[in-house]
Chain A
Amino acid sequence: MITVIALKELRSMFASPLAWVVLAFVQIILANIFIEQVDTFMIVQAQLARTPNAPGLTELAIVPMFGAAQMVLLMSIPLLTMRLISEEKRNQTMALLVSAPISMMQIIVGKFVAMTVFLCLILTLIAAMSLSLLFGGAIDLGLIFANLCGLLLLGMAYSSIGIFVSCLTTHPVVAAVMTLAVFMGFWVIGLAASDPSSWLNWVSISKRFEGFMDGYISLPDVTFFLVVTTLFIFLSVRKLDSERLSS
């Protein structure tokens, strides 16, 4: 049942131009940044060769691209999640799903799975770009893997927040703006969290992601993202259930 919902959602995504536009948008921005970083690396390469313990190609060219990818996801995920629930409510198609013999949990998880598949598609493109450097030199595959894991977890957390916000309104654009506002809020928390011991640091999504950018897949960070993801999936289910009950 979850796959039925997920496939339906992916089909709807790719039936509209939005998914393609987002993929193109992500790819153009990241490819640009990537090329620029590789160019810079070419210029400073000679100096680096003389410095002991200098950062390599992966650190200088690929990791900054992942840093940018984090911001790009922050901007594009609201566009993808905005219609997931709000449009069903707006077009009254929610009644079809609710009257079908499936649970609210299956509906939400199905939609979340569709988002995750879409994220994996973006990640594949990013991974392909990074791995293209294998033609020209040695790169740190472990570091790339950590970054991809981080980006996937971050994307999943963002997606489930986006789905939850989409449950709150019947207007996709309102959902997109609200989701973006929430993400911006998290981003500002990240900026404010300069002191590593403060609680701001603890809840900041971007600070958590920085660990992955340095190549650490640490259990607390992974757990943090998974907990955020699960929490918002549950909240979404609760929200939809409460609509059925509410007076």
Chain B
Amino acid sequence: MADHDIPLTLSASGLTRKYGNNTAVSDVSLSLHKGEIIGLLGPNGAGKSTMMKMITGNLAPSEGSIQVCGIDLIDDPIAAKTKIGYLPEIPPVYKELRVNEYLKLVAKLHKVSSKKIQVAIDNAEERTGLTEMSQRLIGSLSKGFQQRVGIAQAIIHEPEVVILDEPTVGLDPNQIIEIRSLIKELGKNHSVILSTHILPEVEAICDSVKILHKGKVVFDDDIDALRQFRSGKSIQVSFRNPPTQELLDSALDNVKITTIREGVYRISGRELEYDPTDDLVQISAHKGWGLFELVGAQASVEEVFVELTTQDSLQA
């Protein structure tokens, strides 16, 4: 994705943000090409929202610079902001307005020319599935629909860069799928940054990922690297005639075994390259343990965080 032919839409370098003595974001750089979707992942308080607020001009960085399509956000904020669409954590909607009135207001604020406003509203409503809600008061809509209104306002002016802060929070599973496919579609023509604390979400839609922890980047690579990092590390097995944990431990080398419940164990290789699956199947058949279930368990988001952050502290 990072071809040199594809224009850079957003580049931020050395972003640092301090609140008093507390550093929320420390020296984070980011570059985004047209048609790329970046996921910002991190536990609560990792600095994702602060990052996004800085990129959208809602918060001035303590250090560092931000360029949107080559325009410096600090030198010429107004020109730079026309290129950005932003959905904050809480959708910035006026509850006393109707959906179409609100979108009209947003279109005007973003300097969409008056001839194109109606088309832009229809377009945004259609893409977010709000066409039938057009006449409804925003205050009377459910959380999920308000979230969609929030997304509609972020894309109505066809910005180069769309920034979505936790776009799928508060949505039901069907809506989540719809919104994810919407974001994927957005990624074709726009650049998208989205933040989330749901790992599978990032895997499903993003091209690359940055994991933040305590304001620092602890993982920065494309999505395949993240998948590799997560998978093939541990398996979950169930036996009909379960051996004791000690027996299992002595039969396999170089693994860590945890009992999940009676007859169900989680086995993980101590080294990255070692996959215990083959050995386990052979031994089980040989000894008649009755292996009937074997699931390649992926590391959960918590495990990834723990891994990354402990790695980080080892390096430091």
Closest to B90 in A: A92
A interface with B by C-beta (< 8 Å): 1, 4, 8, 11-12, 15-16, 91-103, 244-245, 247
Q: Given the known A-B contacts A92-B92, A244-B58, A244-B60, are A97 and B109 also in contact in the complex, defined by CB atoms under 8 Å?
A: yes
Chain B, interface SS category: loop
A139 to chain B, nearest CB (A): 41
Of B18, B20, B93, which contacts A93 at CB under 8 A? B93
Are A99 and B94 interface neighbours, CB within 8 A? Answer: no
A123 to chain B, nearest CB (A): 26
Of B62, B96, B109, which contacts A100 at CB under 8 A? B109
Of A4, A8, A93, A245, which contacts B92 at CB under 8 A? A93
Residues of B within 8 A of A4 (CB): 105, 108-109
Chain A, interface SS category: helix
Of residues 116 through 166 on chain B, the ones whose CB sits less than 8 Å from some CB of chain A are 153
Residues of B within 8 A of A1 (CB): 109, 111
Residues of A within 8 A of B78 (CB): 101-103
Does B106 touch A at the CB level, under 8 Å? yes
B203 to chain A, nearest CB (A): 28
Given contacts A101-B109, A103-B78, 5 further A-B contacts (CB under 8 A): A12-B97, A93-B92, A100-B109, A101-B111, A247-B18
Closest to A244 in B: B60
Residues of B within 8 A of A97 (CB): 109
Of A15, A95, A101, which contacts B96 at CB under 8 A? A15
Of residues 255 through 308 on chain B, the ones whose CB sits less than 8 Å from some CB of chain A are none
Complex: A93 Cα to B94 Cα, angstroms: 7
Residues of A within 8 A of B20 (CB): 247
Q: Given the known A-B contacts A103-B78, A247-B19, are A8 and B105 also in contact in the complex, defined by CB atoms under 8 Å?
A: yes
Complex: A16 Cα to B95 Cα, angstroms: 11
Are A16 and B96 interface neighbours, CB within 8 A? Answer: yes
Does B210 touch A at the CB level, under 8 Å? no
- Can you list the 8 inter-chain pairs with the closest CB atoms, starting with the nearest? A96-B92, A100-B109, A101-B81, A92-B90, A93-B92, A99-B86, A95-B88, A101-B82
Residues of B within 8 A of A102 (CB): 78, 109
Complex: A94 Cα to B56 Cα, angstroms: 13
Closest to A15 in B: B96
B124 to chain A, nearest CB (A): 14
Complex: A93 Cα to B93 Cα, angstroms: 6
CB-defined A-B contacts under 8 Å, sample of 24: A1-B109, A8-B94, A8-B105, A11-B97, A11-B101, A12-B97, A15-B97, A16-B96, A92-B88, A96-B106, A97-B109, A99-B56, A100-B106, A100-B110, A101-B111, A102-B78, A103-B77, A244-B57, A244-B58, A244-B59, A247-B18, A247-B19, A247-B20, A247-B62
